[in-house]
Amino acid sequence: MKKLLYPILAAALVLTGSSIARSQDQGQPSQPQPAGAEPQAQSSPDAAKPDVRINGKWHFVFDTEGGDREFEAEFTVDPDGNVTGTFGPSAVKGTFKDGHLSLLFETTSEEANETAPLHIDGKFDDKTTSLTGTWQFSSYDGAFKATHPDTAQPTQ
């Protein structure tokens, strides 16, 4: 019986040691793999990284029949491309994928004395790091341009 037990124990130790070495090579905690088990696939570190080009504060200028209207906004993009944040006092919902911004959220225009959905559809320009596109609110619509506000402090 002892003659049979030693080879089985030795084989188990070899398998356990090789699975620990594999997991350490892959940067994982040491956990023994059952004999004959397939190693788990590693997810790419670049997978599920959000497109952060529009994260942060923005200054929007809407072109309207009555002249330019300016708004402040702040956005955050999650790994799935969902945008959240604020546009003036309103909570924002939308998407940003492949450089295309699409927002649709409820807001109130004090000037028009109306609450309605605001739809913003734009493209991010990598050269100028700005957004340009169109907006639509109730019966009003037009073009917009948005830039990151200048956060540089004056030198003394």
What would the pLDDT profile of 45-75 be if each residue is shown by its tens digit? 555 677 889 999 999 999 999 999 999 999 9
pLDDT score for 51: 86
Asked whether the beta carbons of 132 and 145 are under 8 A apart, the reply is: yes
Q: Please, what is the Cα angle at 147 between 146 and 148, to 5 degrees?
A: 135
User: Given this model, what pLDDT does residue 50 score?
Assistant: 78
CA distances from 130 to 65, 113, 138, 144 (A): 23, 30, 25, 11
Superfamily of domain 52-147 in the CATH hierarchy:
Quinohemoprotein amine dehydrogenase alpha subunit, domain 2 (2.40.128.120)
Domain boundaries, the chain: 1-42, 52-147
- The pTM (predicted TM-score) of the whole model is 0.66
DSSP three-state, residue 151: coil
Write out pLDDT tens, residues 2-15.
444 444 434 443 33
Residue 1 has what pLDDT? 47
* pLDDT at 15 (0 to 100): 39
pLDDT of residue 109: 92
Q: Which residues of the chain have pLDDT under 70?
A: 1-48, 150-156
Look at residue 47 in the predicted model and tell me its pLDDT.
55
How far apart, in whole angstroms, are the C-alpha atoms of residue 72 and residue 87? 6
